[in-house]
A = this chain, B = another copy of it.
Amino acid sequence: MTIRKATDEEPCPVARSVDLIGDRWSLLIVRDAFDGVRRFGDFQRSLGVARNILADRLRKLVDAGILEMRDASDGTAYQEYVLSTKGEGLFPIVVALRQWGELHLFARGERHSVLIDTRTRKPIPRMTPQAKDGSTLMPAFTEVRKVT
């Protein structure tokens, strides 16, 4: 990052976003968070990431205001990491990555995990529906749960 502009001098919003969440793990943590994962150990098992790296990424995501720490809902003494409103705003990015990947990175018939919109109880569509003007309709974030 010596050569890249400091984030606060970078005029391109895409670049700032990529600087913040464009690493190997952050977006997958966010994906899991959309999927309802909340606890350190669950993230760790889901991702298979080293504990120290996970701790670092969680801290950065909390510092960035994407995740918030809360007391565990199950009465244990530990913390949970849940998406803030800002973090929930990443939903279109995750969905777009998912849909592009489904369409272009899987062979026909090859199985992949899907997301269920818990409001409509339907899977997030493989492709974004087209509007009349050619724009695409991105599902809203309600709550989502993975099915494999």
Contacts and interface: CB of A to CB of B under 8 A. Distances in A.
A23 interface: yes
A interface bracket (residues with beta carbon within 8 Å of B): 35 or more
A122 interface: no
A142 B100 CA distance: 18
Contacts of A15: 28, 31, 101
A90 to B, nearest CB: 6
Interface string A123-148: 00000100101111111101000001
Nearest to A105: B16
A100 B94 CA distance: 12
A67 to B, nearest CB: 13
Contacts of A86: 104
A138 B140 contact: no
Interface of A: 3-4, 7, 11-18, 20, 22-24, 27-28, 31, 48-50, 65, 86, 89-90, 92-94, 96-106, 111-113, 128, 131, 133-140, 142, 148
